[in-house]
Structure 1
Amino acid sequence: MTGSTDSAGRVAIVTGGSRGIGRAVSERLARDGAAVVVNYAGGTAAARETVAAITAAGGRALPVQADVADEDAVAAMFDRAEGEFGGVDVVVHSAGRMALSTIADLDLGELDALHRTNIRGSFVVARQAARRLRRGGAFVGMSTSVVGTQFPAYGAYAASKGAVEAMLLVLARELRGRDVTVNAVAPGPTATDLFLDGKTPEQIEELSRIPPLERLGTPEDIANVVSFLAGPQGHWVNGQTLRANGGLV
C-alpha cells in the first residue's frame, strides 16, 4: 500500500470500523502499514466492503463482529487479533451511539441504550486494551467537541462522552511504566451518517459555518489525527483530549 510506514508490522483493532470515522481510520491505519481488525456490530456488508477496500490496496484486514458492551465478545475479538496477527499494538474505539433530544424530553430507555454502548462499551474495550496492548502501543478513544460547545439536544450524548474522556485520562495514568499511550479525539461537526441523520439541509449548512474554517470535518480529517496519535510520531502525546474541530471552543 502507499502512504506512511509508521505502523508497519503493527496490529490495530478499530471498533465501529466499517462506517464513517471508523472506516476512515481503518483504511488510514492500513495505509500506514498496520494489519487491521475491522470490528462491527451488525453491518456485515459494510464491514466486508471496508476489508475488501483495504485488501484491494494491498493491506491486511479482518472483519470481526462484536458488541462492544459484551465483555466475552470483546475478549474473543482480541483473541482473534492475537491469533491471526500475533498481538495488538493499537486500539481505536470508534463505536458509538447518539441520541438527540432535550433533557426534558429524553426517553430514558434511549439514554440507557446510549450509555450501554458509549460508556460501558468504552470500559469493556479499554479494559481489554489495558491488559493486552504491547509495549509502544496506543489506545485512542472517541469523545465529541459537544462536551465543550454544549449544543442543545446533545445532553445525553455529551454526558456519555464526558465520561469517556474522564475514564481515558485516568487510564493513561494507570498504565505508567507500560510504554502505552491513551488519548481521546473529540471531533467537531463531521460529515458522517451518524451526524447528518435527522438534520435538514439548512441545519447542516448552519453547522458547517460555525467552525472558523467554515466547513464540516470529514472522516479523513479525524483519521489523520488518529494516525498521528497511534503511531510513533505521536507517542509523546499521552493522557490528552485532542479537539479536532476546525477551531470550535
Structure 2
Amino acid sequence: MSQLNTSFKGKNVFISGASRGIGLGIALALARDGAKIAIAAKTVTPNPKLPGTIFTAAEEINKAGGRGLPIECDIRSEESVQKAVEKTIQEFGGIDIVINNASAISLSTTQDTSLKKYDLMNTVNARGTWLVSKICLPYLLKSAEQLRNPHILTLSPPLENTITDVKWWKHTTPYSMAKFGMSLVTLGLSGELEGFVGANALWPLTKIQTAALQIFGDSHNSRDVSIMADVAYEMLKKDGRTYTGQFEIDELFLRREKGITDFSGYVFQVDPKNPRPLADEDLDPDFFIADTARDEVKRLRAGRSKL
C-alpha cells in the first residue's frame, strides 16, 4: 500500500492574501521545507500603510527555500480566481494545499456600516473562501488520489459556544456575519470532502501583531505571526482523510499537540534588542474566543508564574 505523503517538499500551495502578516508567515514556514507557493492577492504596488506586495512575498519565499509564484488576484471575481488557479496549475502542475487567508474587516455596527463595506467583507470573507475552495476542488481531489495529503485551511473563528453568543454580534454584526461565514464554509466542506481532503480552521487566542492591527490601534500586548505559522505547519502535516472539521485555537493546539507551556518566545517585541517580559495573561485576547475556551486556557496556565 502506498504511503501518504505528509512532507511539504515539492507540495503545491495556493494561498489567498499572503502579501504580509499571518498569510506570509504560514507561507514562509512551508517554504522552508521546499513548498511551492502561489500568492494570490491584490497588492502589486507598495502601500505606505501596509508594507509588502505579492512580489516581495515571492522573494521572501524563494529566499526561505521554496518557490514563490506571485499572482494578482481579486477573490471577489470568479474570472480572476479561475485565472489564478489556471496559472498555478500551469506553473506547478497541481494544487495540494489551499489556505484561505484573505479577509476584510470593519469593526462597526449595522447602523455605522455602509453597504459598500458590508459587500466588501462578505464577498471577500465568506464568498471568497467558498469560491477559492470550489475552484481548487478538482485539483485537491486529484491530489487525494495521489496520496499527497490535500488540505484546506481557513483563518476563521471557532463555532462551538461562540457563534450564538450575542457579545460577538452586538457591536460588529456585519463583520461577524462575514467572518463566521468563513467558518461555516469550513464546516460544510469538512462534510463534503470527508475521507479525501482535510478542511479545518485556525484562529488566534490573542491578538497577532500585523500591519492591519497597527492601523486599528497598535496593540503591543500581542503575539508574533510565528505562533500561527507554527500551528498551521503542524495542522497541514496531519492526515487530512481523518483530521477534518477541526476549529483550532493556536495556544490550545500547541499545548495539546506539542506539549508547549512556555509561550514567551511568541511575544511580539517592539524592540527585539530590549525584549519585554510579558506574562501570557497580559496579552490582549482576540475576538471570537468562547468563555469555555478562555476557562480552559486559565486552567492550563494555572501554576505558571509570570515571566
Q: Which range, TM-score by smaller chain?
A: 0.7 to 0.9
Give the letter for the 1:124 counterpart. L
Whole-angstrom CA distance in 2 between matches of 1:20 and 1:14:
13
Find out whether 1:52 has 2:59 as its counterpart: yes
Find out whether 1:193 has 2:211 as its counterpart: yes
Whole-angstrom CA distance in 2 between matches of 1:8 and 1:91:
16
Find out whether 1:139 has 2:152 as its counterpart: yes
Q: Which residue of 2 aligns with 1:14?
A: 15
Equivalent position to 1:230, from 214, 226, 236: 236
User: Where does 1:207-246 land on structure 2 (aligned, <5 Å)?
Assistant: 208=221, 216-232=222-238, 236-244=242-250
TM-score, with normalisation over the residues of structure 1?
0.84
Find out whether 1:30 has 2:47 as its counterpart: no
Structure ranking higher on relative contact order (CA contacts 8 Å, 6+ apart): 1
User: Where does 1:168-187 land on structure 2 (aligned, <5 Å)?
Assistant: 168-177=186-195, 179-187=196-204
User: Counting helix residues as a fraction of each chain, which structure ranks higher?
Assistant: 1
Find out whether 1:85 has 2:92 as its counterpart: yes
Whole-angstrom CA distance in 2 between matches of 1:153 and 1:19:
27
Are the structure 2 counterparts of residues 190 and 245 from structure 1 closer, same or farther at C-alpha, using a change threshold of 3 Å?
farther
User: Where does 1:31-180 land on structure 2 (aligned, <5 Å)?
Assistant: 31-45=32-46, 46-133=53-140, 134-135=143-144, 136-144=149-157, 150=168, 153-177=171-195, 179-180=196-197
Whole-angstrom CA distance in 1 between matches of 2:44 and 2:228:
22
- The alpha-carbon deviation at position 152 of structure 1 amounts to 6.1
Q: Deviations over 1:22-45 (max 9, x none)?
A: 111111111132111111113345
- The alpha-carbon deviation at position 244 of structure 1 amounts to 2.5
Give the letter for the 2:84 counterpart. M
Q: How many residues align?
A: 232
- The alpha-carbon deviation at position 51 of structure 1 amounts to 1.1
Q: Max radius of gyration: which structure?
A: 2
- The alpha-carbon deviation at position 95 of structure 1 amounts to 0.6
Whole-angstrom CA distance in 1 between matches of 2:185 and 2:99:
15
SS in structure 1 opposite 2:190?
A: helix
- The alpha-carbon deviation at position 120 of structure 1 amounts to 1.4
Q: Deviations over 1:176-235 (max 9, x none)?
A: 34x210011123421112223232x5xx35xx3xxxxxxx23211111121122224676
Larger mean CA deviation between 161-170 and 226-235 belongs to 226-235
Whole-angstrom CA distance in 1 between matches of 2:31 and 2:172:
33
Q: Deviations over 1:60-111 (max 9, x none)?
A: 1110111011111111111111111110000101011001112332222211
Q: Deviations over 1:135-173 (max 9, x none)?
A: 120000111468577286433222211111112111111
TM-score, with normalisation over the residues of structure 2?
0.69
Q: Which residue of 1 aligns with 2:278?
A: none
